[in-house]
Amino acid sequence: MSSTIAPRTPRLAGSARRRLVHGGFTAIALVYVGALVIAPLVGIAFAAFKGGWSVIVDTLRQPDVLHAYYLTGVITLITVIVTTVFGVIVALVITRDRFPGRALMSALVDLPIAVSPVIVGLMAVLLFGTGGWFEPWFSAHGIRILFAVPSMVLVTIFICIPFVIREVVPVLHELGVSEEEAARTLGASSLQTFFRVTLKNIRWALAYGIALSTARAIGEIGAVLIVSGSITGQTETSTLYILRAFDQFQDTQGYIVAITLALASIVLLVAIEAFKRRQEKVRET
Amino acid sequence: MTDNLQIPGTPIRVEDLWKRFGDFEAVKDVSFTVEAGSITALLGPSGSGKSTVLRMIAGLEEPTSGRIWMEGEEHTFKTVQERRVGFVFQHYALFRHMNVAQNVAFGLSVRKLPRAEQRSRVQELLELVQLTGFRDRYPDQLSGGQRQRVALARALAPRPKVLLLDEPFGALDARVRQELRRWLDDLHRELGVTSLLVTHDQDEALELANQVVVMHEGRVEQAGPPDEIYNAPATPFVAGFVGTANVLHGHVRDGHVQFGEHRVSGASHLAEGVEARAFVRPHDVRLSTVDRNGGSVRATVERIVTLGWLSRVHLRLPDEQVLTAELPNDELGGVELGSTVWVDLRRATAFETSEVPPTSEPEETPSVR
């Protein structure tokens, strides 16, 4: 075999094999996503529409369902506001300040992702339940935490802490401090520097973090299930309603609420994807 | 129009400035004055503390001790905002989400100047930096040189008391750097704003500045006019860092540095017999194919490098010390590779060997001047 031809043949064969392998992976990915994501979505949609429009309208008019939506909305809104404001503050502190324990703080911020929501719920019960550390003070002041909205908000916030921080920190790192320093030398106050320079630069990452946080808050069930007591019309969120609907053999109602939550998630997903693209575009420059 | 652009000169004075970062002393006992309306260059290698000094003057770093004055008023404890300095960063630090006009207007709008006034000032500055056609562009649509001009316009817009420039041309390529340097010189003449420029580029410092402050390992080595820094270096470090220099080792004898059979003047301030090093500029080395005055040193030509209109000749002396000479190509005469030539050392600056820090070996970078 001539030495000039020798390397050519395997290269051709190699590229053909690579194409085949590549095609194989594409097929696997499509089937995987299709079977695990699209099929259930279509399934829920079918189940929800099984009873026709009248059942859907009736279900969505039920006071329980309306209250469940309302509660999910309130909890999500508070959670998003709190995790956004404090998330940005924590992200700024982690990236801009130097203090002992900064690395620990940066690691602790991710803890809620690693801990199962059920455990988060149990921790809240330990703190605020009978015999809990904070229980005496709150009951002395007549404030109900457990089996009431405050504990549901608290656990949801806890679970959603990481999203904004995790998105904003790398962007702040990458930006560095020079634009902020430039703003200060030009006479900007700290607030002016934050709102006119820093916030503008992190806005897409922040929007992405907020979208993730919102999606997570809407879908939360594990921790909320433990702390809420699931009192219909009082401490029942949309996800808890779905759970009860199935328990009580009202499958169709359950599917109908489920499909509305799924739709909300899809809208958020599209928004997240758009934010991600904007962010990537900003980073490229 | 020109009167409107003028910025009255404000003198800067720093006294006994120290800065410690943990265990590291970045700035040690630095004092100097920048005359009103002048350009002073803080020159030194990276890590010499020059940027830290600049940042302390701007208020971006807090001095560990020492005092900072501007126009006779103490500024040591003032906030960045109160100091009203114009700061130009090495990597421009333009606001990436604002266009050119918005960048320049930033310092005016945070101070809540009336819109009309902002607009006319921005126009004025864009004309000054010749970027009127670029007002709606974003920083990522500009070249490095254009970005730095925007940064300069932005720094000048709020009429700062002084202009501080931190390696302003460091990120640009040689030609743009040369162009911007000349342009900054013209601009300074027009505006008259007191300027303090941090640079590691000696050519930049010597060309632009009325005064050069040479820093090394956190300390001021020498401060003075550029020609004094170049021709009368006060320390071995300055002799080695500013311009290129040959170092010849020897002993002091009758005010000369004696090495082997030969000697060079310039050591009359040193005690007889001490070990000394003579710093000789490459252009102060004269070559000849004949021994004209009988006192010349014999050397062998080891290498000849042509640098455009001049050549650098690497020589080896009989006592194995090496020497480089720089001379115009048309003066090369019969100087050829491997030939023996006669060397005349026109001028040297000598220091006792004990004061020569080991790090101050001359730089290999070509300096064509």
Q: What is the pLDDT of residues B297-311, one digit of tens each?
A: 888 999 999 888 889
Q: What is the pLDDT of residues B243-296, one digit of tens each?
A: 888 998 888 988 888 887 778 888 888 888 889 999 999 998 888 888 776 667
Contact A201 B86 (CB under 8 A): no
Rounded to whole angstroms, the Cα distance separating A166 from A109 reads 8
Residue A2 lies in a domain: no
For the stretch B141-152, pLDDT in tens is: 999 999 999 999
Q: Span A251-267, mean pLDDT?
A: 91
CA distance A137 to chain B (A): 44
Nearest CA-CA distance, residue B84 and chain A, Å: 7
Tens digit of each residue's pLDDT (9 = 90 or more) over B312-368:
999 998 888 899 999 898 888 778 888 889 888 888 888 988 755 544 444 444 434
**Token reading at B4:** 């409107």
- Give yes or no for B303 touching A (CB within 8 A): no
| Residue for token pair 């925007």 | B150
Are A44 and A75 within one domain? no
Looking at the 3D structure of chain A, how many domains does it have? 2
Of B207, B261, B248, nearest to B350 by C-alpha is: B248
Cβ-defined contact of B155 to A196 (cutoff 8 Å): no
Is A76 among the domain residues? yes
Of A48, A72, A91, the residue that ends a domain is A48
Q: Do A185 and B58 touch (CB under 8 A)?
A: yes
Residues A115 and A256 in one domain: yes
Q: Which of A186, A193, A200, A284 to mutate to test the interface with B (most CBs of B within 10 A)?
A: A186
A181–B85 C-beta distance less than 8 A? no
CA distance B363 to B265: 23
Domain of A259, CATH number, reads: 1.10.3720.10
Residues of A in contact with B102 (CB under 8 A): none
Same domain, A30 and A136: no
Residue A186 is nearest to which of B59, B60, B158, comparing CB atoms? B158
Q: Mean pLDDT check: name the lowest of A79-88, B169-178, B208-217.
A: B169-178
Contact A178 B87 (CB under 8 A): no
| CA B49 vs CA B42, B166, B261: distances in Å | 10, 12, 42
Q: Within this chain, do residues A196 and A115 fall inside the same structural domain, yes or no?
A: yes
What are the angstrom distances between the C-alpha of B151 and each of B88, B90, B103, B138?
6, 10, 8, 12
**Whole-angstrom distance, CA of residue A226 vs CA of residue A245:** 18
Residues A29, A94: one domain?
A: no
Distance between CA atoms of residues A34 and B222, nearest Å: 73
Residues A33 and A127 in one domain: no
What tokens were used for B124? 């004025």
Mark whether A279 and A150 lie in a shared domain: yes
A184 & A221 share domain: yes
Does the residue A98 lie in any domain?
Answer: yes
| pLDDT band at residue A274 under the 50/70/90 scheme | confident
| Interval B182-215: pLDDT, tens | 989 998 998 889 999 999 999 999 999 999 999 9
Residues A36 and A60 in one domain: no
Based on the fold, state whether residues A93 and A24 are members of the same structural domain.
Answer: no
Residues A43 and A131 in one domain: no
Range of the domain at A21: 14-48
pLDDT, residue B1, reads 42
A201/B contact by beta carbon, under 8 A: yes
**Chain A CB within 8 Å of residue B96 CB:** yes
User: Considering the domain boundaries, does residue A5 fall inside one?
Assistant: no
Tokens for B199, please give them: 């640079």
pLDDT of A71 > 90? The answer is yes
Please check whether residue A83 lies inside any domain of the structure: yes
In a domain, A1, yes or no: no
* 8 A C-beta contact, residue B17 and residue B25: no
Chain B hits for A282, CB-CB cut-off 8 Å, are 96
- Write the burial class of residue B208 (CB in 10 Å: 0-12 exposed, 13-18 middle, 19+ buried): buried
In chain A, which residue's Cα lies nearest the Cα of B93?
A179
The residue of B51, B90, B95, B156 whose CB has the most chain A CBs within 10 angstroms, and thus the best one to mutate to test that interface, is B95
Asked if residue A4 belongs to a domain, the reply is no
For residue B93, give the nearest of A181, A189, A282 by CB distance: A181
Chain B touched by A190 (CB under 8 Å): no
pLDDT tens per residue across span B79-132: 999 999 999 999 999 999 999 999 999 999 999 999 999 999 999 999 999 999
pTM over 0.90: no
> Has residue A274 been placed in a domain?
yes
Do A91 and A115 belong together in one domain?
yes
ipTM: 0.84
Contacts of A285 in chain B (CB under 8 A): 96, 140
